[in-house]
A and B are shown apart, each in its own frame.
Chain A
Amino acid sequence: MEVPSRLISPSLIWAGVGILGLVIWPFLIGQYWLQITIVSGVFVILAVSLNLIMGIAGQLSIAHAAFYGIGAYTSALLTLRLGLSFWVSLPLAMVFTAFLGYLIAIPALRLRGHYLAIVTLGFGVLIYQVLERWESMTRGVMALTGIPRPTPFLGITFRTKLPYYYLLLILIGIVVFVVYRIVNSRVGLALKSVREDEVSAQALGVNTYHYKVAVFSVGTALAGIAGGFHAHYQRVLAPDEFSFVDSVRILMMVIVGGMGSVSGSILGALVLIWLPEILRAMGDFRDLVYGLAVILIVIFIPGGLMEMFRRSVAFLQRQFGLSASGDDSVVRRD
């Protein structure tokens, strides 16, 4: 079972190649696709964080875009009204979003399943209404404009898309790292036990209520980071980016990728952002095809893209006799 610690292992090399690829990626594509890349990166953070709440801990939330919006508006308003630097407003936005996540979690998590889903949905719509109607603060549909760029950091100025891209890469790295560590720990197991069977979990000493509230706070905090970044990148905020439909879009990324799988959520976010862009060629029929694609995915690969990927790998291995060489670290599924 012990993995021998070698300085150079295949997985390390692959990780190196992956990082190198991500670093040189902007030089391989034009400005337009860089824009799409950055947008999809923001949604990677959102999907990964929602997966923590929904895929790992099993708490269905249809308000993730609202928390994303709270993070965005908080950070933007802190810089606009209080003149704070982005580097201060971003963590503050994260903390404030987590705080609101905590507040909604306390009453909402007494409820289960559909009820929880609907309360979060109601909360999401309510936040949207506040963003739209509280014009003296958010300027409503007129949009909040003039949000400053991040102040130069270590001599790096944020004048082009490139530094934003690298900043986002670092943020994604941190978020994925944090979620990955949480999932693969005592805490992660406890969260999964909440998803699987709360009664059993409690009988083993898991304080299920504590974990539900905590995972909600952590997940929404990460959504706040995505929001903060988005605000200072886009530099214009309007409520319609944070509506019910956007919450559902994030939800779909998690499900299409495969509930409970961190890599699946990343994949889901990338696919569901890039798909419409590729479908842009279809013009008017974009949402039509998008809707159809989602239905087909749910019907034919309900376990998500990651599950399909695993299955096809297993299938190929069987076809070509490349058995997993008795590796007992792999969880057998039948």
Chain B
Amino acid sequence: MWEFLNYLMNGIVSGSAYVMVALGLTLIFGILEILHFAHGEVYMLGAYFAWTILRVYDVNYLLAVFLSMVIAAVLGVVMEFLCFRPLRGKPLFLPLISAVGLSFFFTDAARILWSPNPEAISTGFNRSIVHIGEFYISQQRILMFTVAVASIVLLYLFIQKTFMGKAMRAASMDLEATALMGINIDVVVSVTFALGSALAAASGALLGPIFVLVPHMGTLVGLKAFVCVILGGFGDVRGTILAGFLIGLTESLTVGYVDSQLKDASTFAVLILVLLVRPSGLFGTKAGKFY
């Protein structure tokens, strides 16, 4: 019973991290239909930014997370401007390759700027464990979960309530029509990249202390975030949130009750299964379009 609760909680926590990464992807995909393969690297950079800020300035951990988000947001805007904007309206495999180029660039940059060796973030939260009966959880995980839920709610409100959010939704339905209505698409896209990148960076900065930092840590997380986007139905925000938690739980229960070796494989097995049964994703309705 306690064991199950522990696995459940672990699944929910890592699920919330996946959701944070996947939300940015899903927004970007919804509007530009780009498979943004460098998004996992933004997650990685977020972790390294926070680590560096903590090392150099010795500030409060939460402030470091926030600063990391700000830097990532700026990076997201610049990245979109340089690498994706020139390719808008071109066949969609071109931005895909551009994104892959970016991901090589970021991974190597991290190796040069920091180090190829694993680093650990010490936050003060990851050592203190809370327990109820035999149910254990570190404060870091509680923090991760809290921030994730808060940002998911905030993002949701932003999309539903603000003008910019509505413009984003409109753009994801029909980019051209939105442009014709006099909305500046470039701004919408920039905001989307800023938000998405900040969320991914926050996820990295929060999950980083639970694991270790290595330059290629983003690749697998990025791929899993993709799985969430697909299961969620490509560009569907609610679907992506549900899918993120589903993936987190699947992994954690696989580790607990099947074989910890199969943790990563389980995600992709779920993906293939779901797509074979329901090609438009668990929650989606949109059809894929490539050329």
Contacts and interface: CB of A to CB of B under 8 A. Distances in A.
Interface string B55-98: 00000000000000000000000000011001100111111011
A118 B232 CA distance: 13
Interface in A110-156: 110-119, 121-123, 125-126, 129-130, 133
Contacts of B271: 118-119, 122
Nearest to B279: A111
A115 B230 contact: yes
B255 interface: no
Chain A interface size band reads 35 or more
Contacts of B289: 112-114
B48 to A, nearest CB: 15
A222 interface: no
Contacts of B272: 119, 122-123, 126
A13 B77 CA distance: 54
B104 interface: yes
B275 A295 contact: no
A126 B271 CA distance: 10
B234 to A, nearest CB: 7
Chain B interface size band reads 35 or more
A113 B93 CA distance: 10
A294 interface: yes
Interface in A270-295: 284-288, 290-295
Given A60-B93, A117-B35, A295-B105, A302 B87 contact: yes
A32 B200 CA distance: 42
Contacts of A22: none
A133 B265 contact: yes
A295 B83 contact: yes
Nearest to A251: B97
B101 A129 contact: no
Interface in B222-274: 223, 226-227, 230, 234, 261-262, 264-265, 268-269, 271-272
A107 B100 contact: no
Interface of B: 33, 35, 37, 82-83, 86-87, 90-95, 97-98, 100-109, 111-112, 219, 223, 226-227, 230, 234, 261-262, 264-265, 268-269, 271-272, 275-276, 279-280, 287-291
21 contacts: A112-B288, A113-B290, A113-B291, A117-B35, A118-B230, A119-B272, A122-B271, A122-B275, A244-B219, A251-B100, A252-B100, A284-B112, A285-B112, A287-B104, A288-B104, A291-B101, A291-B102, A294-B104, A295-B83, A298-B95, A302-B90
